[in-house]
Structure formats: structure tokens, C-alpha cells
Amino acid sequence: MKYSELNYKRIKIGEFKNYVDNLIVEFNNSSEANTQIEIIEKYQKKQKEFHSYSSIANLNFARDTRDKKAIEENLYYDNIGPEYSAIDNKFTKTINNSKFKRELVDKFGSHFNDLIEMELKSFDEKIVDILKIENTIKNRYRTLLANAKIEFDGKILNLTGLTPYMQSTNREERKSAYKKLDEFFKNNSQELDIIFDRLVQLRDQKAKILGFQNYVELGYLNMSRSEYGPKEIKKYRELIVKYIVPLVKKINNKRKEILGIDRMRIYDTLYFKNGNPKPKGGVEFQVNQAKKMYSELSPETKEFFDIMVNEELMDLDNRAGKSGGGFCTSFPLYERPYIFANFNGTDHDVTVLTHEAGHAFQCYMSRKQPINRYLWPTYEACEIHSMSMEFLTWDWMELFFKEDTEKFLFKHIAGSLSFLPYGALVDHFQHWVYENPNALPKERKEKWLELEAIYQPDKDYDDLSFLGSGGLWQKQSHIYQVPFYYIDYTLAQVCAFQFWIKMGIDKESTWKDYLKLCEAGGSLPFLKLVKLANLDSPFDEKVFQNVADKVDKWLDENSL
């Protein structure tokens, strides 16, 4: 079936509760482990219905944040989502108290038990009402950005539509586009601060109710991080400052030479004087090239991408009212992923397509995992699939960029490396925010600038008043929507760079390792998945240094 033909309905929360309550009675009265396993499997099927229908509601809202029906359905699932979590939590407690716990662990793996323990620590029915309010406020942020109307170049643009002008070969045009961005966030700064203040207070309140000192520990539990904590992340961020920040400065100095400028401003987004590489066609062209690429990469990717195209499981056009950014979601009831993006004619179109295809491919390859919690791994492991897919498809980039392929590859590597300090900056900032939940908006902006001086010391805002006053973070949706989900990108990037290095040695074995990683889904925690893929821990300083050295050497040898 095509996406438009998928069945959608509202789950009636009362009926769902009664169904689960009956399962719990049956579970507790069972006298054999196999009976309990069968009950868990029955629950898994019911759970897939909820996740699929709520994903469809959320996706339809993202596709058009102005559509009344989509708003209504998304709001419905936002409202019942916390109640569903309470019911799910009750069933999880029942599993945790099973008299056949050892047999359940033997069947589903020790990670299943670890995920259950983290979930039970991070949820209580007392926070259901707070979760409902939090969902509503997050949607206020999402809608605010999605409905941006910016007058520029005789057009009315959204934020995505402004992006190509921010990469213009004309420096003044780039600056003008950034001024429009600056004006939009300045004009909406009061609303942005109100939204974020409320989100921080709600999250701090949840943490206190659950017995935590602040939201940091709860945030880590919500991300299902079982192998490392804030101390390990702090040391990891220090590795980025030590090894990567100097390399980014080196890249920026090289770019200044290429562009013929003395000072690099925030609007100097080019890597080449005649402009950044662009794909040689729009959405249809790029999908056709991707279809050829994935048909040649492997039998598995051919099957996967043919399904994505034939069943219309992608929305790639940028249009008014559509939510910004890109993501991959899924409908486990139908064993299908979905790719959402906003193409704008820049090289980012290709990277976002391959990135989200990496997520979708993993989801497709792990669709038969026995436990719903295993369909997706934790976020930092998820991002290995996506960021590595960007590199694994390098041999086909000529299909998209033709004579500008070498420029794209250089920008891709340099940009991927340059991203690491920014990712660490976002993470450091979030730790401070939730350790200081009563900080004023002005204090948050001051802290952002203070941290920016550590991670991005070359940042120069010129005369952009709002962004230059520490407001840049407010355009980073993850900070509002999914707290602590950002360092994950950097951890995964270090792993993806390892795949990139291995590709230069043996492409066949590299692909096999990647495929094995995708098939495993979330059946293991992050570091064990890394080991399964024959990669080394990004927390290891020697590994980190080796990756930095290899990337730096490649950039020197391939400087254009």
C-alpha cells in the first residue's frame, strides 16, 4: 500500500486500558514462562498499533501545520500519549515483577531488562498531566517556526526557503538573508523565551517529582543511556576542544584564503569562491539518482529504496506551512519507515536524503526484532546508521553533483568535522540550563556566548544584533523538543568517520559490518552495538585522536 492508503484510526484509550488490564491479570495468573512470553508478544502487537497511528498523526501535522484535521489528530495523540505511557508503564512493572524473569531475559536479552529498569525510574503516573502540557508547548515552538513568513527577493519565504540565499556567491546577499533570519528570531524572541522558560520549568518539575536533583539525570534516563553519564560526556567534550577545535580553525583559515576575506563572518558559509556545490536537479532528479545508487549499493538497499519510492514513503518538497527540518519516522504495524525533509536546492538535500535513508534502512532491516524497544536503538546508535550512510554512498555522489563531486566530498568531510564542536556546545549549554533551571533568558544567552568562545572561538556575528547577543541556540529545535539529544550526533559522527576510514581499506567488509549493525536494531546498548560493528568506542582518546588525524590528513591531501 501507498502511504495515503495506510489505515489510520484513533486508539480509544479506555478500551486500550481495559485490554492491557486483562493482559496483566492473565500474565500474573500464568503458571508457565512460555505463557507470559506469549502475553508479551500479544501486547507488542497492540503497542504497534498505537505507535503507528500516533506516528501518522504526527507526520500529517508536520506535513501541514495549518491543516485543521491534522492539528486535531495530532492534538488527540499528544493528549492521550501520556495516558498511554502510564498504561504501558503499568505493564512494564508487571513484566519486571515476573516470577519468570530469568526466562524472559533468556528470551529477549539482558538489554530488555536494562531498558525496563530505566523506564521505571523515569516515569510515574504523577507526571502525566505535566507531559500533556509539555507536548502542547513543544507544538507552539514547532508551529511558530513552521509558519515563518519572511519577505525576501520579492518572495514570501519560510526558514527553509531562505537557506539558498544564505549560501549565495554574493556576500551582501548572504548577509541580507542572515539579517532576515536575525529579524525573525528577534521579532519572536519574547514568545521563544516564554516557550523555553515553560519547558525548562516543566522538565525540572518532572525531575523533582521523580526524586531527582534536577532534570539532567532524568534526561539521561529518557535517552536510555545505560553505559555512560555526564562525567564521561564532559571528558568527551574536552576531547573535542583538544583535538577538533584547532582543526576547525585550520579549515576556516583555509576558507578565508579561498574566499579572499580577512575575517570570516557567520554569513560566510561558502567553501568555494564560485559557490558551494549543488545537486544538478530537484526532488524528482535526486530521487531517481538515489534509486540508481541504492540499486547498485546492495540487494538490501535496492529492495528497501524501491519500497520507499513505490509506496510513496517520502515527503521531500519544501512548502508553506510544512514543518522545518528532516526526520525519519516509522509505522511498526506496517513494518515501514518514512522519510521527511525539506529540499532547498543546496548540497544539504543530498546529505539529508542519505542521512534519513540511513535511519530508514536500519528501521527496515530490524523490523523483525521480537521486542518493540529493539526496533530502534538509542539515539546515538541511531545516528551511526544515518551519518555512516552519508559516507557509504560516496562512490555515487557523481550522480548528483557531476563535475562538482570533488567539491562536495571536501565540503562534506570538512563540514562533518566542523560540526563536532557545535554539537558539543549545544550539549554543554543544555547541561547548564537544567542545572540552573531558574536562569533568566538574558543569562542563558550570556552563557551561550561564553561557551561559544570555547567551542567556536572564530564565530563572528558582525552586526546581527539578536544572534550576536547569544540567541542562535533558539533556532536549534532539538534544544526545545528533545533535550540532551545532540551530543548523540557527535558520538555517531566519530563512529561514522571510522566506517569512512575502513571503506578506504575494504569496502565489502565495511558494508557487512554496517549491515550487521542495522539488523541488530536496538537489541544492544550503544557501546555494544559499536563493538558489534567492529568499531572502537568514541570515548577512547586514542581512537578519537586517530580519527582526527586521518580526517585532517585527507583534508590536506584533497584541498581544492
Cα torsion 21, 23, 28, 34 to 10°: value is -170
Residue 167: pLDDT band by 50, 70, 90 thresholds?
very high
pLDDT exceeding 70 applies to what percent of the chain? 100
Residue 445 domain flag: no
pLDDT for the residue 496? 98
Residue 304 domain flag: no
Q: How many CB atoms lie within 10 A of CB 506?
A: 11
Give bridge partners of residue 155 from the DSSP assignment: 152
In this structure, are residues 251 and 555 in contact, taking their beta carbons and an 8 Å threshold?
yes
pLDDT for the residue 487? 97
Helix (H) or strand (E) holding 336, with range, is strand 336-340
**Region 63-72 average pLDDT:** 96
Task: Tell me the average pLDDT of the chain.
Answer: 96
CB half-sphere exposure, 30, CA atoms < 13 A: 23
In this structure, are residues 429 and 439 in contact, taking their beta carbons and an 8 Å threshold?
no
Q: Which three cell numbers stand for residue 351?
A: 546529505
Q: How many CB atoms lie within 10 A of CB 541?
A: 14
Rounded to an integer, what distance in angstroms lies between the CA atom of residue 355 and that of residue 338?
Answer: 13
Tens of pLDDT, residues 386-437 = 999 999 999 999 999 999 999 999 999 999 999 999 999 999 999 999 999 9
Phi and psi for 321 in degrees, rounded to 5? 85, -10
Residue 151 domain flag: no
356 exposure class (CB count in 10 Å sphere: 0-12, 13-18, 19+): buried
Q: Which three cell numbers stand for residue 127?
A: 507526571
Residue 185: pLDDT band by 50, 70, 90 thresholds?
very high
pLDDT at residue 373 is higher than 80? yes
How many domains does the chain divide into?
1
Residue 384 domain flag: no
pLDDT for the residue 560? 73
Tens of pLDDT, residues 114-123 = 999 999 999 9
Residue 75 domain flag: yes
Residue 533 domain flag: no
Q: What angle do CA 250, 255, 258 make, to 5 degrees?
A: 130
Which of 522, 498, 531, 533 has its CA nearest to residue 365? 522
pLDDT at residue 80 is higher than 90? yes
pLDDT for the residue 559? 80
**Region 5-19 average pLDDT:** 97
Q: Which domain does 95 fall in, by range? A: 3-134
> What's the DSSP call for residue 167?
G
The amino acid at 3: Y
Residue 443 domain flag: no
Residue 449: pLDDT band by 50, 70, 90 thresholds?
very high
Helix (H) or strand (E) holding 315, with range, is strand 314-315
CB neighbour list of residue 389: distance below 8 Å, 6 or more residues apart:
354, 355, 357, 358, 361
pLDDT at residue 37 is higher than 90? yes
534 exposure class (CB count in 10 Å sphere: 0-12, 13-18, 19+): middle
**Region 189-205 average pLDDT:** 98
Mode of pairing for the β-strands spanning 314-315 and 336-340: parallel
Residue 37 domain flag: yes
CB neighbour list of residue 558: distance below 8 Å, 6 or more residues apart:
406, 409, 410, 413
Tens of pLDDT, residues 295-325 = 999 999 999 999 999 999 999 999 999 998 9
